[in-house]
């Protein structure tokens, strides 16, 4: 079967390709890229006035399966990813059972076979994400895992983290750390600052994140580990990463869309959908993160997609679960709030959401070139829409962006030559 | 006379004229206490529910008495006796009470924002009787009432709040209310118990109690929760008493007109020496009396939203 994509504005800095092109796709690959292709006997998709990107990669999601299928399943998580324009997603290990063993990794992969996008399981650093004993890192590596994380929990014990890094190096794995000093964070539920003071909510200081970033950098320097900082959210955390990189250390960092767009002021009104870990930070932090993004100090934008049930987010702020269902709003938010404001461009976005995450996860980001796998994301920058959680493919309807009117939307997602999500006519359809 | 709002959740967004209106109403309520029959029929047929998710004797009995003196039907539910213990959500508890016909739900809860959550979800008026470290507006109003009654005004006074500011809803509500009425508010306590960026609320922060006391008109002493020491927020009770306890010696250099206040319950001999608590400058028992008047005023203003200028006779 052949598909001919016509008139798309292709933006792919991986292959230095930018401009109006036609793409001929046959089987799972891009066969031909030309200014104009004429071909009979094929399905023609006219993507006039839209932007065509290499398929996006989200290196930080929680698919909740196995163990928390009431929040999300691999199937629904993949659908949410497709609707958000992602063709590959990495899923975190804090399931039940934890992905600390090859059997759980195989289970996730098997389930993901039936999903509409590609799933890369992340293994845990320690058994049960408890931070006490190392997971069987060698076996995890042999089962295809390329990165390790106890995300959701930090590895508080510095000795354990040191050993994990040393051990991971010999298997070529990246350590992704959730940096949070649990003693400093205490039972806090929001960022420490003016808003925690007036709202009377227990505070989590920024330094809870920063001391752990500093520790991890020192341990990475000692061990030579490949360290990736998950959901970096503070100005000084970014400063630490930038300084470490100047020294030549192999350290990367990701930021979420919500930490780039919302501040702790959003917690006013006690909406549990604003509760997330790390918490929404101060205006100063957000300004510095945006500045860092502009200056290229941040490697990756990742969603930290954290779906929860209605009940998990019902009631008192203190008792609500932390997390934001982010897959289906990420690209539109970045376009509406960062690209349209001129902070970054589409080429930056491809680096942040394709090239860099691929490199960190050890994937081959082929981008848009002849012979490459046809993983493509099509974005209509003019489409206006309103965030309505009820319409999410994800089971997690927990988003602080309810009712936001956004300009720009993913309208087509293609995985290995097959359309898996189609919203060209507003039908928002997942196609198996 | 009525409030412009369905609920009364805190003083953050309440204007000065509204505060004065409440204080005036409370004055009329307090007048009732001097009668031989301390009860008016104003809220006859209205139902008031006291929903207490946190142990409280003082505030609960104060609300209870306030409702009874206004002839409302009053129902008190506390955590140990309600089905909350069985895992029922706050929302379901409140909805149940609402369909039973509550006009005002008075809520006390350990989670900040619980009152606001409830207010959004039910049609009945919600009156916040303390939510976590967020707000305790009736306490702040009774404190302001007491200050105004004793000193004749609030504008221009220097009011010092001493103690665990970080965990105190009383401090926060007092700060909003007093600054709106033009008082200078100071806070002092161990640095570990002063919340971040509190100066943005318009207060002066001191860590030295003796410096903070210079020139003040009112000292409002907060209860120190003994579990804060266990959590390592300050080293010992005796050190707290030494550096932040209010005693005669500390007050000796100050004007004899300085008011001593405490929201209770007191840790005698820790944050406040007994001779100060029981001394001439102390208005602590009057605070309790005024608390009933303030709560009557607010219940009247909320439950009486549909009443027509009914008098209090």
- ipTM metric: 0.93
Query: Do the strands A174-177 and A147-148 form a parallel or antiparallel pair, or are they unpaired?
Result: parallel
Instruction: Give the residue on A whose Cα is nearest the Cα of B196.
Output: A193
SS3 state at A308:
coil
The residue of chain B with its CA nearest to that of A186 is B231
The rounded radius of gyration (Å) of the Cα atoms in chain B is 19
Peptide bond into A278 cis (omega under 30): yes
- Residues of chain B neighbouring A200 (CB-CB closer than 8 A): 112-113, 131-135, 169, 172
Q: Where in chain A is the domain with CATH 3.20.20.140?
A: 65-361
Q: Which residues of B touch A192 (CB under 8 A)?
A: 196
**B137-168 pLDDT, tens per residue?**
999 999 999 999 999 999 999 999 999 999 99
Owner of token pair 């219940």: B299
Q: Which of A76-80, A309-313, B77-81 has the lowest mean pLDDT?
A: B77-81
Choose from B109, B196, B200, B225 for mutation: most chain A CBs within 10 A. B196
Compute the Cα dihedral for A67, A329, A348, A29 and give only its sign.
Answer: positive
Whether residue A197 lies within 8 A of chain B, CB to CB, comes out as: yes
pLDDT band at A53 (very low <50, low <70, confident <90, very high): very high
State whether residue A257 sits within 8 Å of chain B by CB: no
Q: Do B90 and A316 touch (CB under 8 A)?
A: yes
In angstroms, the CA B129 to CA B76 distance is 13
- Please, which pLDDT band fits residue B87 given cuts at 50, 70 and 90? low
Global pTM reads 0.95
CA A21 to chain centre: 28
Q: What is the pLDDT of residues A249-287, one digit of tens each?
A: 999 999 999 999 999 999 999 999 999 999 999 999 999
Mean pLDDT for A8-18 is 97
How far apart, in whole angstroms, are the C-alpha atoms of residue A62 and residue A41?
41
Fold entry, domain A65-361 = TIM Barrel (3.20.20)
CA of A193 vs chain B CAs: smallest distance (Å): 5
Q: Token pair 């400063």 is at which residue?
A: A239
A316 touches chain B (CB under 8 A): yes
Nearest Cα to A264, choosing from A341, A212, A199? Answer: A199
Question: Using 50, 70 and 90 to split pLDDT, how confident is the model at B1?
Answer: low
Which spans in A61-134 are helix H?
Answer: 74-83, 102-113
Q: Would you please indicate which residues of A are annotated as catalytic (active-site) residues?
A: 304
The DSSP element (H or E) to which A46 belongs, if any, is: strand A43-46
Burial label for A113, CB within 10 Å (0-12, 13-18, 19+), is exposed
Three-class SS state of B52:
strand
- Assign B134 a pLDDT band (cuts: 50, 70, 90): very high
CATH superfamily of A2-52+369-430: Urease, subunit C, domain 1 (2.30.40.10)
Number of helical H runs and strand E runs in chain A = 13, 19
* Token pair of B90 as six digits: 């706050």
CB B196 to CB A319 under 8 A? no
Chain-wide mean pLDDT for chain B?
92
Q: Is B263 helix (H, G, I), strand (E, B) or coil?
A: coil
The pLDDT tens digits of the residues spanning A38-47 come to: 999 999 999 9
B46 — pLDDT class (breaks 50, 70, 90): very high
Tell me what pLDDT residue B118 has.
93
Q: Tell whether A404 is within 8 A of chain B (Cβ).
A: no
User: H-type helices in A47-148, by residue range?
Assistant: 74-83, 102-113, 137-142
Count the Cβ atoms, other than its own, within 10 Å of residue A337. 18
> CA angle, A311 as apex, A305 and A313 as ends, to 5°?
50
| Residue B62: band (very low, low, confident or very high) from pLDDT cuts 50, 70, 90 | very high
Place of tokens 């008139």: A7
Query: Can you read off the two tokens belonging to residue B13?
Result: 């967004």
DSSP A171-199: TTPEEEE----HHHHTT--EESSHHHHHH
Max Cα-Cα span within chain A = 67
Per-residue pLDDT at B81: 46
Report the alpha-carbon distance of residue A48 to residue A8 in Å, rounded: 5
Q: Per residue in A68-98, pLDDT tens? A: 999 999 999 999 999 999 999 999 999 999 9
Which of B113, B173, B174, B203 to mutate against chain A (most A CBs within 10 Å)?
Answer: B113
- Who's near B132: CB < 8 A, 6+ residues apart? A200, A201, A318, B109, B110, B111, B112, B113, B114, B169
Q: What is the pLDDT confidence band of residue A215, given thresholds at 50, 70 and 90? A: very high
Helices (H), B152-268: 169-180, 209-213, 226-230, 237-244, 248-251
CA angle, corner A97, sides to A94 and A100, nearest 5? Answer: 70
Helix, strand, or coil (residue A88): strand
CB contact under 8 A, A203 and B195: yes
CA–CA gap between residue A166 and residue A170 (Å, rounded): 7
Cis amide bond preceding B265, omega within 30: yes
Residues of chain A with CATH 2.30.40.10: 2-52+369-430
> A133 has which bridge partners?
none
Question: What integer pLDDT is reported at residue B305 of this predicted model?
Answer: 73
Provide the 3-class DSSP secondary structure of residue A273: helix
Dihedral sign, Cα of residue B84, residue B87, residue B89, residue B92 = negative
Tell whether the model's pLDDT for residue B85 goes beyond 70.
no
State whether residue A284 sits within 8 Å of chain B by CB.
no
Q: Is the peptide bond before A197 cis (omega within 30 degrees of 0)?
A: no
Above 50 in pLDDT, residue A343? yes
Residue of B nearest to A204 (CA): B196
- Inter-chain touch A194–B200, beta carbons under 8 Å: yes
Query: Which residue in chain A is spatially nearest to B193 when comparing CA positions?
Result: A197
C-alpha closest to that of B140 among B57, B273, B230, B26: B26
Q: What is the pLDDT of residue B97?
A: 84
pLDDT for A286: 98
Partner residues linked to A222 by β-bridges: none
**A165 closest CA partner among A137, A192, A193:** A137
Average pLDDT over residues B247-265: 96
The residue among B231 and B25 whose pLDDT is bigger is B25
Residues of chain B in Cβ contact (below 8 Å) with chain A? 12, 89-91, 109-114, 116-117, 131-135, 169, 172, 195-198, 200-201
> pLDDT value at position B313?
47
CB A226 within 8 A of CB A356: no
Joined together, the tokens standing for residue A185 give: 């964070």
Q: Which of B107, B112, B227 to mutate to test the interface with A (most CBs of A within 10 A)?
A: B112
pLDDT band with cut points at 50, 70 and 90 for residue B3 = confident
Rounded to 10 deg, the angle between the B16-32 and B284-303 helix axes is 110
| Under 8 Å between Cβ of A288 and A417 | no
Q: Work out the burial of residue B61: count CB atoms within 10 Å of its CB; fewer than 13 is exposed, 13-18 middle, 19 or more buried.
A: middle
Which among A197, A200, A314 has CB closest to B91? A314
Name the nearest CA neighbour of B132 among B113, B116, B117, B118. B113
Q: Does residue A379 have a pLDDT over 70?
A: yes
In this complex, the residue of B89, B172, B200 whose CB is nearest that of residue A200 is B172
CB-CB under 8 Å, A198 with B12? yes
Percent of the residues in chain B that have a pLDDT greater than 70, as a whole number: 94
**Residue B80 binned pLDDT confidence (cut-offs 50, 70, 90):** low
Interface size A-B, in CB pairs within 8 Å, comes to: 65
What gap in Å lies between CA A242 and CA A72, rounded to an integer? 35
Residue A6 to residues A23, A38, A41, A355, A368: CA-CA distances in angstroms?
7, 10, 15, 24, 14
Q: What is the CA radius of gyration of chain A?
A: 21
Q: Above pLDDT 90, what percent of chain A?
A: 99
- Tell if the CB–CB gap between B134 and A316 is shorter than 8 Å: no
- Whether the pLDDT of residue A197 is over 60: the answer is yes
Range A172-195 average pLDDT: 98
Mutate to test the interface with B, among A193, A196, A200, A320 (most CBs of B within 10 A): A200
Confidence at residue B307, expressed as pLDDT on a 0 to 100 scale: 66
CB A23 within 8 A of CB A375: no
Amino acid A420: pLDDT: 98
What number of CA atoms fall less than 13 Å from residue A117's CA on the CB side?
Answer: 35
Query: Higher confidence at residue B2 or residue B261?
Result: B261
Q: Name every chain A residue with its beta carbon within 8 A of the beta carbon of B134.
A: 199-201
Per-residue pLDDT for B74 more than 70?
A: yes
Q: Is A120 helix (H, G, I), strand (E, B) or coil?
A: strand
pLDDT at B77: 87
């Amino acid at each position: 079967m052949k598909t001919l994509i016509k008139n798309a504005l292709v933006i792919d800095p991986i292959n230095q390709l930018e401009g109006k092109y036609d793409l001929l796709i046959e089987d799972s690959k891009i066969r031909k890229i030309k200014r104009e292709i004429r071909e009979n006997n094929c399905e023609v998709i006219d993507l006039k006035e839209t932007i065509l990107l290499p398929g996006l990669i989200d290196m930080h999601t929680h698919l909740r399966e196995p163990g928390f299928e009431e929040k999300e399943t691999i199937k629904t998580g993949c659908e949410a990813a497709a609707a958000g324009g992602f063709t590959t997603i990495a899923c975190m290990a804090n399931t039940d059972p934890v992905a600390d063993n090859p059997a759980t990794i195989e289970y996730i992969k098997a389930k993901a076979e039936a999903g509409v996008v590609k799933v890369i399981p992340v293994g845990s650093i320690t058994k049960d994400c408890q931070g006490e004993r190392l997971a069987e890192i060698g076996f995890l590596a042999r089962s295809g895992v390329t990165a390790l994380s106890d995300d959701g929990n930090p590895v508080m014990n510095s000795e354990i983290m040191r050993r994990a890094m040393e051990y991971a190096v010999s298997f070529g794995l990246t350590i992704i750390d959730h940096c949070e000093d649990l003693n400093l964070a205490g039972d806090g539920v929001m960022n420490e600052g003016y808003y925690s003071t007036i709202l009377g909510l227990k505070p989590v200081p920024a330094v809870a994140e920063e001391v752990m970033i500093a520790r991890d950098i020192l341990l990475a320097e000692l061990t030579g580990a490949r360290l990736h900082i998950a959901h970096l959210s503070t100005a000084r955390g970014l400063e630490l990463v930038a300084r470490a990189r100047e020294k030549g250390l192999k350290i990367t960092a990701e930021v979420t869309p919500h930490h780039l767009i919302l501040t702790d002021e959003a917690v006013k009104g006690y909406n549990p959908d604003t509760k997330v870990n790390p918490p929404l930070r101060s205006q100063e932090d957000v300004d510095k993160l945006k500045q860092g993004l502009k200056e290229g100090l941040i490697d990756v934008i990742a969603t930290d997609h954290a779906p929860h049930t209605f009940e998990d987010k019902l009631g008192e702020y203190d008792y609500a679960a932390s997390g934001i269902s982010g897959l289906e709003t990420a690209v539109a938010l970045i376009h509406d709030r960062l690209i349209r404001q001129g902070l970054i461009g589409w080429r930056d976005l491809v680096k942040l959401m394709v090239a860099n995450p691929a490199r960190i996860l050890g994937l081959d980001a082929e981008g848009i070139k002849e012979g490459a796998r046809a993983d493509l994301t099509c974005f209509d920058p003019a489409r206006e829409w309103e965030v309505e959680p009820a319409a999410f493919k994800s089971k997690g309807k927990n988003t602080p962006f309810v009712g936001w009117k956004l300009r720009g939307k993913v309208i087509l997602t293609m995985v290995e030559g097959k359309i898996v999500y189609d919203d060209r006519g507003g039908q928002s359809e997942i196609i198996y | 006379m009525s409030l412009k709002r369905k609920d009364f959740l805190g003083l953050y967004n309440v204007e000065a004229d509204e505060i004065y209106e409440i204080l005036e109403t409370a004055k009329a309520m307090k007048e009732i206490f001097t009668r031989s029959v301390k009860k008016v029929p104003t809220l006859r047929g209205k139902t008031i529910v006291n929903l207490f998710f946190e142990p409280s004797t003082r505030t609960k009995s104060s609300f209870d008495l306030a409702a009874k003196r206004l002839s409302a039907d009053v129902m008190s539910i506390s955590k140990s006796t309600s089905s909350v213990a069985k895992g029922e959500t706050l929302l379901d508890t409140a909805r149940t009470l609402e369909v039973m016909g509550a006009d005002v739900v008075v809520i006390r809860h350990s989670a900040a924002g619980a009152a606001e959550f409830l207010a959004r979800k039910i049609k009945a008026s919600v009156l916040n009787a303390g939510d976590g470290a967020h707000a305790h507006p009736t306490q702040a109003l009774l404190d302001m009432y007491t200050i105004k009654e004793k000193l004749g005004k609030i504008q221009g006074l220097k009011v010092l709040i001493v103690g665990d500011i970080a965990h105190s809803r009383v401090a926060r509500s007092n700060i909003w209310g007093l600054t709106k009425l033009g008082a200078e508010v100071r806070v002092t306590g161990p640095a570990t118990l002063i919340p971040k960026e509190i100066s943005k609320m318009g207060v002066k922060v001191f860590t030295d109690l003796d410096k903070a006391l210079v020139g003040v008109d009112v000292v409002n002493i907060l209860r120190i929760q003994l579990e804060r020491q266990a959590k390592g927020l300050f080293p010992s009770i005796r050190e707290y008493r030494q550096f932040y306890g209010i005693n005669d010696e500390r007050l000796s250099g100050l004007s004899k007109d300085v008011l001593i206040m405490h929201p209770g319950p007191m840790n005698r001999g820790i944050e406040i020496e007994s001779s100060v608590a029981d001394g001439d400058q102390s208005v602590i028992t009057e605070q309790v009396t005024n608390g009933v008047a303030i709560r009557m005023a607010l219940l009247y203003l909320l439950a009486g939203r549909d009443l027509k200028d009914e008098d209090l006779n």
